[in-house]
Structure 1
Amino acid sequence: MIVVTLLGGLGNQMFQYAFGRHLAIKNKSRLVVDLSMLLARNPEIDYTFREFELDVFNVSFSNFNDVRNTFGYRLARKLKQVTYLNEDGKPFDPALLQIKGDAHLIGYWQTEKYFAEVSDVLRNDFTFKIPPGPGSQHVIDAIVHSNAVAIHFRRGDYVSLPSASIHGVCSPDYYRQAMAYIEANVVNPHYFIFSDDIPWVKANITFPGQHTFVEGNDGKKSFEDLRLMSLCKHNIIANSSFSWWGAWLNANKRKIVVAPKAWFRDPSVNASDLIPETWIRI
């Protein structure tokens, strides 16, 4: 079996599932998710508590709690037949795709290189279980009838936690340059604006043309923003795994995706494999 320890929010969980799904397919094994670290509630200062969020999709897996004490898994551990892979901030390693037998993955695995071979499977897995609500359907109707560009502003804990010194946020200048690129390459773009801090966006960002603020999809409804971003024709993403997946799930074969060159404020963090080669980096 392939066990994946889930960490972080929805976008991070999608990366972790994707790598595990790929390995499970390669090894003709079952995928198991471990929620123990995700649902831990240790009083850490620099940590945002998360919930299991993959259940909005048509994903397929077993729960680690149901298998960890089975005879087969306990025997494999005792005989040291389980390979433990801890990413620990290391860049993409193609050798990990050759792992055979039982494995337990702990990390973020933020590059499509870990799952590009099963893209079609994942696009099917990452379809939504439930139809859009009335508010989202109204936005979808507008998206379908325009040259829709999703533009995402991630703030929240990127601003409030001490780890902001590592992550940082994308600057207004990045968004100005990104929109200038869109204006030069897309006829009559209509910007659909997504953020966990819409008031900040309204106060600090000027949009060059038609634009719509998408509001109300917070908390347990945040996945609706991911759905809507994926339906736009083009994407300007933040340094966020959430909007990364919104762009990746965009099925437009002619899509333009603009991403920040500096994914982390801390230049020592290696994110060289994170952005697909066909995306524009500014």
Structure 2
Amino acid sequence: MIIIQARGGLGNQMFQYALGVTLKKRNRRTVLISRVDLTDVKTFYLPYYFELDPIHSIMTSGSFLRGKIFDAFTSRIIPRLLEKDEDQLNGSCDKVFIKGFFQSEEYFKDAESQVRKAFTIREKHVRQYLKKYSKPDSNTAVIHVRLGDYKEFGDQKLGGADLTLPLSYYQAQMDKLRSIGVNKFLFVSDDIEETQMVFGMSKNYTYSNGTVIQDFLHLKYATFAIISNSTFAWWACYLNENPKKQIIAPKHWLGFKVGKEYPKGISTKSFEWTEVW
């Protein structure tokens, strides 16, 4: 069995689950994604929001692994999955515990279709969304602003604390979209009140008061989106199937202050990556 520790919020859990789908496909072994302690994850979102395709997916558990069940795996912890770790996963060891974030499509490129199918949003959430909202039209850009705990995140290798993006990044990209006729902007954020204070009021601005999955769907249905360096926004736009979509994302992601991509491999080719000034 392979156990992957569920860590972080929705976007991080999606990367961990996607890795699990790939490992199950490659190794044909039982894979479980589960919470281990209260410090790494507050809510286990995936089974509530997504179908998690029962044929190709992995087992999930919202409970915590305790005592002997967890101890049995601690001798085989893999904190980061690297090429050299493939031997450990493909070898004779029957118990492996994996802890990490795996924020790159490289970790699931061999199972992309299965991952996309697993992340089909449950129909009840789609119905609730369409009852409350219309899908963003082609004259509207959805803007994702990440605030909250990002103000505290960051260390010296990322240029210090505060990984929120500057207002200038959003303004420059909004001006770029205005130049091609996009004149309405729908804002989604983990702190919508502060976002409204920062961007102000305009007849062409709308601030979402939706649920987490409704904000996710705003991005998933958008033709145009300007996103923050958030895995939540990354996944919503990655799963966006609009053939005309234009997703603008911050170059270097969390490493925008130092001009170095972090985490390595986050920059999917389906997005338009722009410098942050």
The alignment's TM-score, normalised by the length of structure 2, stands at: 0.78
Amino acid at match of 2:167: P
Structure 2 residue corresponding to 1:105, chosen from 93, 98, 107: 98
User: Could you tell me whether the CA contact under 8 Å between 1:20 and 1:105 is conserved in 2?
Assistant: no
Q: Is 1:28 aligned with 2:28? A: yes
CA–CA distance in 2 between the matches of 1:271 and 1:66? Answer: 28
Amino acid at match of 1:264: L
Q: Is 1:157 aligned with 2:149? A: yes
CA–CA distance in 2 between the matches of 1:146 and 1:211? Answer: 15
User: Could you tell me whether the CA contact under 8 Å between 1:8 and 1:50 is conserved in 2?
Assistant: yes
Structure 2 residue corresponding to 1:122, chosen from 115, 121, 132: 115
Amino acid at match of 1:34: S
Identity of aligned residues (%): 25
User: Could you tell me whether the CA contact under 8 Å between 1:170 and 1:238 is conserved in 2?
Assistant: yes
Structure 2 unaligned blocks of 5 or more:
none
User: Could you tell me whether the CA contact under 8 Å between 1:232 and 1:250 is conserved in 2?
Assistant: yes
CA–CA distance in 2 between the matches of 1:256 and 1:18? Answer: 24
With over 3 angstroms needed to count, the CA separation of the structure-2 counterparts of 1:212 and 1:199, relative to structure 1, is same
Q: Which residue of 2 aligns with 1:44?
A: none
Q: Which residue of 1 aligns with 2:265?
A: 273
**Pairing 1:30-109 to 2, within 5 Å after superposition:** 30-37=30-37, 40-41=38-39, 50-55=42-47, 56-59=49-52, 60-63=57-60, 84-87=77-80, 93-94=82-83, 96=85, 99-101=89-91, 102=94, 103-109=96-102
Structure 2 residue corresponding to 1:203, chosen from 197, 200, 209: 197
**Pairing 1:146-185 to 2, within 5 Å after superposition:** 146-159=138-151, 161=152, 165-184=160-179
Deviations for 1:176-225, whole angstroms, at most 9, x for unmatched residues?
122233334x54353221012222222222699843221142xxxx1221
* Partner SS, residue 263 of structure 1: coil
CA–CA distance in 2 between the matches of 1:254 and 1:155? Answer: 28
* Partner SS, residue 218 of structure 2: helix
User: Could you tell me whether the CA contact under 8 Å between 1:236 and 1:258 is conserved in 2?
Assistant: yes
CA–CA distance in 2 between the matches of 1:239 and 1:10? Answer: 14
User: Could you tell me whether the CA contact under 8 Å between 1:85 and 1:106 is conserved in 2?
Assistant: yes
User: Could you tell me whether the CA contact under 8 Å between 1:152 and 1:238 is conserved in 2?
Assistant: yes
Q: Which residue of 1 aligns with 2:209?
A: 215
CA–CA distance in 1 between the matches of 2:86 and 2:242? Answer: 28
Amino acid at match of 1:151: I
With over 3 angstroms needed to count, the CA separation of the structure-2 counterparts of 1:270 and 1:228, relative to structure 1, is closer
Deviates more, 1:61-70 or 1:127-136: 61-70
Amino acid at match of 1:256: Q
- Cα RMSD after superposing both structures: 3.3
Deviates more, 1:265-274 or 1:225-234: 265-274
Amino acid at match of 2:13: Q
With over 3 angstroms needed to count, the CA separation of the structure-2 counterparts of 1:121 and 1:167, relative to structure 1, is farther
Q: Which residue of 1 aligns with 2:241?
A: 251
Structure 1 unaligned blocks of 5 or more:
42-46
CA–CA distance in 2 between the matches of 1:147 and 1:96? Answer: 47
How many angstroms does 1:251 deviate by?
Answer: 0.7
Amino acid at match of 2:50: F
The alignment's TM-score, normalised by the length of structure 1, stands at: 0.76
With over 3 angstroms needed to count, the CA separation of the structure-2 counterparts of 1:14 and 1:172, relative to structure 1, is same
